[in-house]
Homo-oligomer: A and B are copies of this chain.
């Protein structure tokens, strides 16, 4: 007997020293063949739910794709909550810390109270320097000599700490106490379950250039994988949000003022406006 539905594969992506991202499951994972559109895939669950709002008496004939783009453009967010992703993530602990600040997801993480921590630490490829203008970011790289010195210091620190950890464990000290000496560069793993709306919010913040590079590579990997399950939504998000420019009231004033700073606009606001201008020309 032939199956009458398509079952989607589960993708995964290895990011080397930065960790990995694996799709554990997706809702919907099973799509009826008579509703299968290779350009839509999981996206079909969005109009499926949205159309419950438009019952008798509405003359809707728009395509799934058109409806999805309309919904995203007009910030109708609830239908995008109807798709769910479950990932298995591996990342350095300092990245996991940023991750957990997103509250609208479900998480199960390795516990260093129960388990022994493995001798496995994040390894940077380059050592970035502190940014001058942007307090949080970091712009240039060290010279090769400096870089090597940094790497040696760092490796020695990790090694030393893990040795102390092991000694403490051997002395019979509780795992929950012994782990306190381990650096935040230790690797951790967790299951992360999130709906598509909140996932896109995560990606908006964490694939942004303001985000720390070590979380950005994982966020980018997630986006790339999600695009294979929900191609229409991801394209719409790029067109209407990621590649969009938000012109504030003051930007609009500057614009009307032939690109000169209007009275009342601060210097900082004007500098931000000038950064947006290339996109407008």
Contacts and interface: CB of A to CB of B under 8 A. Distances in A.
A227 interface: no
A222 interface: no
Given A108-B49, A109-B52, A173-B128, A240 B245 contact: no
A240 B244 contact: no
Q: From DSSP, what is the main secondary structure of chain A's interface residues?
A: mixed
A107 interface: yes
Contact of A124 (B30, B131, B177): B177
Contact of A177 (B57, B97, B138): B138
Interface string A114-135: 1110100010100111110001
A171 B142 contact: yes
A262 interface: no
A176 B136 contact: yes
Q: How large is the interface on A (under 10, 10 to 19, 20 to 34, 35 or more residues)?
A: 35 or more
A107 B78 contact: yes
A128 B177 contact: yes
Nearest to A152: B164
Nearest to A129: B172
B115 A53 contact: yes
A54 to B, nearest CB: 5
A119 B165 CA distance: 20
Nearest to A98: B113
A110 B269 CA distance: 26
A231 interface: no
Given A55-B189, A181-B185, A249 B256 contact: no
A231 B184 CA distance: 40
A55 B138 contact: no
A91 interface: no
Nearest to A95: B180
B189 A184 contact: no
Given A53-B108, A153-B168, A174 B240 contact: no
A137 B167 CA distance: 19
Leading 10 A-B pairs by shortest Cβ distance: A138-B174, A57-B116, A81-B106, A103-B103, A180-B185, A243-B249, A27-B27, A55-B115, A49-B108, A239-B249
